[in-house]
Chains A and B, each alone.
Chain A
Amino acid sequence: MRFRGHVFVQATTYLLFEVCVVTIYLPIAELSVNILIILGMGAAVGFLSGMFGVGGGFLITPLLIFYNIPPVVAVATGANQVVASSISGAITHFRRGTIDIKLGTVLLCGGLAGATLGIWLFALLRRIGQLDLVISLAYVLLLGTVGSLMLWESINALRRAARNEQVTLKRPGNHNWVHRLPLKMRFKKSKIYLSVIPVAALGFCIGILTSVMGVGGGFIMVPAMIYLLRIPTNVVVGTSLFQIIFVSAYTVIVQATANYTVDIVLAFVLMVAGVIGAQYGVRVGQRLRGEQLRALLALLVLAVGLRLAIELIIPPKEVYSVVSAGLGF
C-alpha cells in the first residue's frame, strides 16, 4: 500500500512537471525558460508590491538571478518591470492629487545624474568581474538596514497599539540639520520650505541604485523622505513613484543602448503578471493595518537580504564560474 502511494506521488509529480514545462525563448538572455515560473514570479512579486505599495524591483531582480537569468539582463529587465508597476501606481496618486510635481522634478534631476553614474559603475564592475559581488553586497546591506529599521519601528508601533496608545509618526515641524542647508525652495503641494540639496542628493543616491541594482528604490526613498526630509506622508508615495517612473525609464533606455541587456519578452511577461497580481495584493493590503503591513514588509525585506547574505558567507558548492565574451558579467 505504501509502495503504491509512493508510485502515485511519483507519477503525479512527473505529470505536473510535464504539464508545467511550457518553455519560452528569451531572445536577449538567449535561453529557454519555463513561462509558468516567470508568470508566477511576476504575479507573486506584483501581489506583494500591491499589498505593500512598493515597486517590487528589489524582489524581482534577485529572483531572476536565482533563476539563472544573467545578472546583467536581470537588472536591466527588472528596471523595465518597475516602470510598469510605478506607472499604474502613480496614475492612481495623480487622480487623488497626491503628487508634488515640483518636488518630484528636483528629485528627478538628482536621480538622472545618479543613474548616469550608476550605469558607468555597472559597466566598470562588469569589466573587472566584481558585478555579482557588488550587487549581492549592496542588496545585503540595503535590505538588512532598511528591513531592520522598519521592523523596529513597526514592532514599537504594534506594541503601542496593543497598549491602546495613540500611534503617531514623527510629524514635520521639529527641524534637524537638513533644514539648515542653503538653496531653499518652497514646495507648495507638500507645504514645506526646504533646501534642494538634500532632495537632489537623495535622488542621486537612489538613481545609482536603480541602474546598478535594478530597483526603483521606493523602499528607501519613502522612509528617507518621511524621517529625514520631514515631507508630509500623504504626498511621499505618489511623489516617489513619479520620480521612479522617469529614472527607471531612463535606466532602461540607457541599458538598452549601452549594454543591449533589456529582454523585452521577459519584461512583458513579468509586467503583465505583475500588474494583475498587484490588484489582488492591494485588496489584501487594505484589510491589514499600516503597522502590520510594515512589519510584514520588513520581514520580507530581511528574508531576501538574509538569503543573499547566506549565499555570500557559506562555502559555495562550486568556486569556479565560466563566462563568455557575450552575456554574463
Chain B
Amino acid sequence: MRAFASLLCCMLFLAAFARAQAEPQDFTEKLEIGISTDEIAITSDFRGADITIFGAIDGFDTTLLAQGKYNIVVALEGPKENSTVRKKERVFGIWINTSSMTFELVPESYSLSSTRDIETIAPPQYMNNMGIGVNHMPLNPVGYIGDGSRVGEFRDAFRRLREATGVYQRDPGGVQFISSSLFKASVRLPADVPNGVHVVRAYLFRDGLFVAAKALPLRVVKTGLEQALTRAAHESPFLYGIVAVLLAVITGWLASIVFRRD
C-alpha cells in the first residue's frame, strides 16, 4: 500500500513537472516581437516574400545570455487545412493511388528560423510536445487508419513532400542577435502561398527549457484584380462563368474579324 502511495506520489510529481515544462510559469524572461506590416499583399507579379521580424528579450539572466544559453525559434505558420497524402502502387501494370491518409488541420505553409538547429536547442520529445519544427508538428490522422502501422510512413512522406515543394522550410541560422537582447529573424513566404491568416510564433528557450512565447497574426491577402476575381468566382460563380464564356466569345470573334481573309 505504501509502495503504491509513493508510486502515485511520484507519478503526480512527474505529471506536474511535465505540465510545468509545457507551459511556462514564473519565469522572469519576457519576449516581445514586431513585424513591419500585418498584411502581405499578393499582386500579379508575386514571387514570394521575405519577412523580417524584430524582437527583444526582457528580464534575462546576463550570465546565461553571455554564455549563449538563450535560443530563439521563430515560425511562420500558414492557415490550417486537412491534408491528404495518397500513395500509388502498381496494379495491373499501371500506377494507381491505392491508399491514403488525411491529417487533421496542418499548416499549408511553414517557415522556421532559429538561432541554431532546433534539434540541439531542446530534446526532441520536448519539441514534439510543443509542436515546433517540421519534424515535430502534430500530424493526427482522421478517420479509420487500420492498426496504425502505416501512420509513420505517411507522416514521413508528408513532411518530405512539403519540404521538397518549398512550402515547408527551415533556416537554422535565420535568427541573429543584433545586440545583447535584440534579435532579428527572417522567414520566407513561398510563391504559392495560401491566402488567409498566417501566424508568426516566437519561442524563447533558456538552456533547453521553454520560458516564453509570443504570437502575431500576419494576413496574406490578394489585392486588386486578383482579389476581385477570386471574390467574383466564389460569391457569384454563375455570373463569373458567364463572363469567362463571354470573354472567350469576344476573343474568338475579334480574332475572326482581325484575321479575316475572305
Residues of chain A having any CB pair with chain B under 8 Å: 22-25, 27-28, 30-32, 80-81, 83-88, 91-92, 95-96, 129-130, 132-133, 137, 249, 252-258, 260, 262, 264-265, 267-268, 271-272, 275-276, 278-279, 312-313, 315-316, 318-326
Contacts and interface: CB of A to CB of B under 8 A. Distances in A.
A267 B249 CA distance: 12
B86 A30 contact: no
A279 B259 contact: yes
Nearest to B228: A27
B93 A313 contact: yes
Interface string B216-246: 0000001001110110011001101111110
B192 A31 contact: yes
B90 interface: yes
B119 to A, nearest CB: 24
A185 to B, nearest CB: 29
Interface string B10-52: 0000000000000000000000000000000011111100000
B147 interface: no
Interface size grouping (class) on chain B: 35 or more
A316 B95 contact: yes
Given A23-B46, A87-B252, A252 B245 contact: yes
Interface stretch (B129-137, B154-162, B180-188): B154-162
A260 B245 contact: no
Contact of B244 (A132, A252, A321, A326): A252
Contact of B161 (A81, A91, A321, A326): A321
B83 interface: yes
Given A25-B44, A32-B46, A130 B97 contact: yes
Given A25-B42, A256-B233, A91 B241 contact: no
B45 A322 contact: no
A27 B230 CA distance: 6
B191 interface: yes
A256 B252 contact: no
Given A84-B248, A84-B252, A91-B252, A321 B238 contact: no
A275 B250 CA distance: 11
A83 B252 contact: yes
Given A25-B226, A319-B89, A30 B195 contact: yes
A308 to B, nearest CB: 11
A322 B192 contact: no
B81 A25 contact: no
B258 to A, nearest CB: 9
A32 B192 contact: yes
Interface of B: 42-47, 81-90, 93-97, 100, 108, 154, 157-158, 160-162, 191-192, 194-195, 222, 225-227, 229-230, 233-234, 237-238, 240-245, 247-249, 251-256, 259, 262
A322 B161 contact: yes
Contact of B45 (A23, A256, A318): A23
A83 B88 CA distance: 35
Given A25-B44, A279-B259, A319-B88, A325 B83 contact: yes
Given A30-B192, A253-B238, A321-B88, 6 more contacts: A25-B226, A31-B191, A87-B248, A256-B233, A256-B244, A326-B81
- List the 4 closest pairs (A to B, CB-CB), nearest first: A87-B252, A256-B241, A253-B241, A275-B255
Chain B CB count within 10 A is highest, among A23, A28, A324, for A324
B253 A312 contact: no
Contacts of B157: 320, 322
15 contacts: A25-B222, A27-B226, A31-B191, A83-B249, A129-B86, A130-B96, A137-B94, A249-B245, A260-B237, A267-B244, A271-B248, A313-B95, A319-B87, A322-B162, A326-B194
A262 B97 contact: no
Contacts of A32: 45-47, 191-192
Contacts of A95: 262
A133 B100 CA distance: 15
A258 B252 CA distance: 25
B244 A322 contact: no
A314 to B, nearest CB: 8
Nearest to A24: B44
A271 B81 CA distance: 34
Nearest to A261: B233
Contact of A256 (B94, B108, B240, B259): B240
A323 B154 CA distance: 13
Contacts of A137: 94
Contacts of A92: 256, 262
Given A31-B192, A252-B245, A279 B255 contact: yes
Contact of A80 (B85, B95, B222, B245): B245
A260 B233 contact: yes
A271 B252 contact: yes
